[in-house]
Structure 1
Amino acid sequence: MKKTILITGASSGIGKTSAKHFAAHGWNVIATMRNPEKEQDLNNQENIFITRLDVQKQETIQAAIQQGIEKFGHIDVLVNNAGYGEFGIFETTPEDQVKTQFDINVFGVMDTIRAILPHFRAKKSGMIINISSGAGKFTLPLISLYSASKFALEGFSESLSFELADLNIGVKIVEPGGTTTNFGAVSGEKFAAKPVIEDYNHFIGAAGQLFASLSGQQLATAEAVASVIYEAATDGKDTLRYVIGNEDFNQRMANRHSLPDQEYVDLIKESYKKYL
């Protein structure tokens, strides 16, 4: 029997590439997005079913899961990929944008998992793969809200993995570093649209120099991340975290795990303070 995967945020980037990757490997794919009527790339493959799912609207979550089951008979894997990054100074970020960051990156994930768990329990198996980020393990300047949402996702996913293990429902986390998708561009546009408080200008300039120093590095492609997601879904291992990124990203992850806490914090401070 063909396996079936439901992917949120499949209109672009990692989500769309993962939909193609799983379909190419013979899976049935439920590719969900907020505006399926705009999709023109995925609708020519018979084993890809496109439907609406907006993680901020619970009724669309329930409907997408039900439609996917009606189409393919069952769902084996859920990939929570929908997300975005709120970049910039916390003080200048309106409250509604703070809430949206958590609505999409945390509460939307929780709502989607809650909605699919009865199906997984009934079939006595299932896999949940949550797409996190290196920002869920270490922080950088200007991403306090994004990091907060991904730290929350990491803690939720790890604890949930214990809770669901005896039900034969797996939970895994994929942690990409920077990728070549349009994620950063979207986040940057939101940053540029925020009001300015001049007291922060010196810091913003230094932090901007830090990010500029990273911009020329080789980034992970959406295809490479999709391959890791496929590995997580199919390797049969009880591994919680899967990491993919460039050399700088891998070093940052290693530093976060190996250095004493204050030494790590001081290292991050030095990475941007040299531009002050």
Structure 2
Amino acid sequence: MQKTILITGCSSGFGRSTAQLFARHGWNVVATMRDISAGADLARLPNVLVTPLDVQDPASAQAAIAAATDRFGTLDAVVNNAGFGLFGVFESTPPQKVREQFDVNVFGPMNVIRAALPQLRSQRAGVIVNVSSGAGVFTLPMVSLYCASKFALEGYSESLSYELAALGITVKIVEPGGVLDTGFSNRSGQEAGAQAEIADYRDFTRHTAAVFEQLRGQRLATSEDVARVIYQAVTDGSDQLRYLATEDIRSLVEARRNTSESDYITLMRQRYGFTGQR
């Protein structure tokens, strides 16, 4: 029997590449996005259902799950990929944008998972993959809210994995870093450009922007590379919790997890020059 996967955020980037990859491997794919006009090419693929899903709307999540089971009769895996990142100093970020960051990156996956769990429980089987980030493991300045949302997602996912294991449902976390071909950076730049500048941060933000420009030069992975890791997480049959998806963040992830707190903080301050006034 063909297996069925529902993926959020399929209009571009990881979501689109993941939908295409699973379709090539013969899965039934429910490719979801807020504006389904962006999914016309996906809808032409065999066994692909393009349906609307706004992760901020619990009723929308319920409707997408119902559409998946009505069309294909089962639901074997869910990939929570939809998300975005705020860039800028915390003080200049409007409170409504802070709430939106958590509504999309944290409460969004919760809405989708809550909608999917009755079906997965009835089967006593299923895989849930939450797409996190290197920013869910280590932190950098100017992305404090994005880091906060991804740290929250990782904590929720890890705890949830214990709750669902006895029901035959596996929870996994995929952690990508910088990728060449997504619209993620464009939206982050637009969000930052809409913020009012606070003069006291000007020197710091200019220095930090130069550091991030250097980091962008280290990006080698593509959305297809991340899709392959998501495919592995869904299909490998293991209970592995975390999957590192791109090599550019490996050194920072290992430093965060394998060194002492003081050594790690010293490394970050020296490596990125975040030492205060310049």
TM-score under structure 2 length normalisation: 0.96
- Does 2:60 match 1:60? yes
Query: Structure 1, residues 104-138: CA drift from partner, whole Å, max 9, x if none?
Result: 00001111101110001111111100000000000
2:223 corresponds in structure 1 to 222
* Distance in 2 of aligned mates of 1:273 and 1:112: 38
Query: Structure 1, residues 128-163: CA drift from partner, whole Å, max 9, x if none?
Result: 000000000000110100000000000000010011
- The secondary structure found in structure 1 opposite 2:49 is strand
1:93 corresponds in structure 2 to 93
- Does 2:265 match 1:265? yes
Query: Structure 1, residues 52-92: CA drift from partner, whole Å, max 9, x if none?
Result: 00001111110010011000001100000000001111000
Query: Structure 1, residues 212-243: CA drift from partner, whole Å, max 9, x if none?
Result: 11121233110010000000111111100000
- Does 2:177 match 1:157? no
Deviation at 1:202, TM superposition (A): 1.2
Contact 1:33/1:52, CA 8 A, preserved across alignment: yes
Stretches of 4+ aligned residues off by more than 4 angstroms? none
1:189 corresponds in structure 2 to 190
- The secondary structure found in structure 2 opposite 1:98 is helix
Count residues in correspondence: 275
TM-score under structure 1 length normalisation: 0.97
* Distance in 1 of aligned mates of 2:135 and 2:26: 32
Structure 2 stretches lacking a partner, 5+ long: none
* Distance in 1 of aligned mates of 2:249 and 2:243: 13
2:36 corresponds in structure 1 to 36
Q: Which stretch has the larger CA shift, 125-134 or 36-45?
A: 36-45
1:73 corresponds in structure 2 to 73
State the AA in 1 paired with 2:171.
Answer: V
Percent identity of equivalent pairs? 51
Q: Which stretch has the larger CA shift, 203-212 or 144-153?
A: 203-212
1:242 corresponds in structure 2 to 243
Deviation at 1:273, TM superposition (A): 3.5
- The secondary structure found in structure 1 opposite 2:43 is coil
2:136 corresponds in structure 1 to 136
RMSD: 1.2
- Does 2:185 match 1:173? no
> Which structure 2 residues correspond to residues 100-111 of structure 1 after superposition, within 5 A?
100-111=100-111
Contact 2:134/2:249, CA 8 A, preserved across alignment: yes
State the AA in 2 paired with 1:5.
Answer: I
1:232 corresponds in structure 2 to 233
Deviation at 1:179, TM superposition (A): 0.9
* Distance in 2 of aligned mates of 1:235 and 1:26: 16
